[in-house]
Structure 1
Amino acid sequence: MKSNFLTPTKNIFISHFKSNWKIILPFIFGIFLVSFLAILIPFSWSEFKYIGTVEAHWVLDTGRGPDARVFGLGPIIAVFVFGSFGTLIFSIFSLLLTGFVITSELKKNKMSIWMATPSTRNQIIMSKLLFVIAIITVAFLVVFIPTIIFSSVARDANLYLDKVILQGIFFYLMNVLVAIAFFFLAVIFSNQERLSTSLSWAIIGYIAITEILMFFHKTFDFQQLNFVEFIALQSLMPKFLAFGSAYGKEEVPVPGIPNLKASYGVYTPANKILLIASPIIQGGLTTAGIVGISSVFNRKDIKA
């Protein structure tokens, strides 16, 4: 009897981990370490902890004291942890995992061995895809959990903690979509390894280039680069942690630090249209990718 469409083959899943854990675990640890330090260092240096940007000044007996601007965790999370930099790191990891379960197995003729087992083609290819997504999920969680812990103790957690969580969720969905895209390319061009790898690296390069262009547009106000935001893949992720350079007029005392008052950076809410469109687009592309992978693999002539 044939198994259900998404029924994983346990032996394949375990086999991939046993064969590649020496590379997978250090990579996951590296992702954790980089993201952890990216948050810990500025968090530990600042004498007051914020997610948003803050402009503060000391209140002295003689009047207003010196100013101090705090960058906040939000911009760091939005760019390095749950932003384009993080997407590039996870994309490279996804490409590496896809190479383990597709390209490498075709080279070593292991795919034909799996095809000779009682497992259906859907079981074989879906268990491989599930393996990639499961490892991506673990890597995401080792970044997500510490980020939420640090953010939860920030002084403005009541304002922005939910935004950090939402940014993380959409970041995860984007990286699952990228992983499925790489997997699809590896399956459809299974007999043309260089082509599938080149196309995957082209996607990574495209993300990097568009991010650099958007940086120049925002930092130096290059109006000629307005169009980039509309064609960048990472624009599918709503921006929940966007703060402007201006600050609110209201000054509030900083709890626990006498004689210090702060004004919050002006927060820019996420685009409401994108909030609705992004899950629909990503969900549709993800579903199409999974169906396409199954359809192509079922018709594929696996060469020994």
Structure 2
Amino acid sequence: MNLRRPRRPALSIPKHARPVVAPAVRAPRVRHATGDLIATCRKRLEPLPSDDRCRVGLPSRASVAHFTPSQGVRGITSFVVTKPTTDLETAGRIGFGHREDLGFVEGVRAWNKEDKMGWRASDTRELLLEDAFVPEENRLGEDGQGFVNFMRTLDAGRIGIAALSLGLAEGAFDVALRYTSEREQFGRKLREHQPVQFRLADLATDIEAGRHLTYHAVWLKERGEPFTKQAAMAKLFCSELAMRGTLQAIQLLGGAGYTSDYPVERMARDAKVCEIGEWTNEIQRIVIGRQLVREAFGD
């Protein structure tokens, strides 16, 4: 559930499939959630406030049978090898297939690739929708329920970010523990120095706490119980732990940690977006606070 191996960053299939599977009626779900598509794309609207989903809008010309969006939006694909493309020959060489009955949509284009601080394995581009025709049968969920269905995916998404963040923290901890077990200073291994042991002890304790927060949120979700507060807590705690833990690992490695010879500098760059994605941690605190008040006073 998390990314323990420090050199194998990944984005999960559920990260992008969840908006398709959760609200969809059976027909489009069967057609679009088969795993046969070359690429998947999850979009967010910019330059509108990314956390103000109530203001999200996509101008379109609707008719009885279809709608036609006509505004550029931003999208993020799973991996650079699955970037939006119609090059079937290249996709075939990579090993990705595409069903003939699921044709590419005219008017959908991927634009310039963003030069990001981290998550560089994830191909992030501007997604242009130019009179893209969307037939009625491709609509997911009931008419007018798009916002509601999207919001339902957020809690589960926060659990996913918590798990990813936890994996980054664990990976950084593993690197730091190995390094301090091999490196010697003042005639002793670094791990034998008390200040180093204190840092390792604090990180290990926080990782264990984050794991239990995340697993508890998953447990509630699987039981069909409310888990909004727990998901926000797990995302908040684990994402800040990922940032704190990767920076601590860099400190424990010293100058070596600041170089690309060790993966902790990349982990730190990757960790930062976990404090931002699936709504910022400031929003998580608002969600937690509101849930606490609602539980205590019924407001």
TM-score bracket for this pair, using the shorter chain length: under 0.3
**What TM-score, normalized by structure 1, do the two folds share?**
0.24
The structure whose Rg is larger is 1
Higher relative contact order (CA 8 A, sep 6+): 1
Structure-2-length-normalised TM-score: 0.25
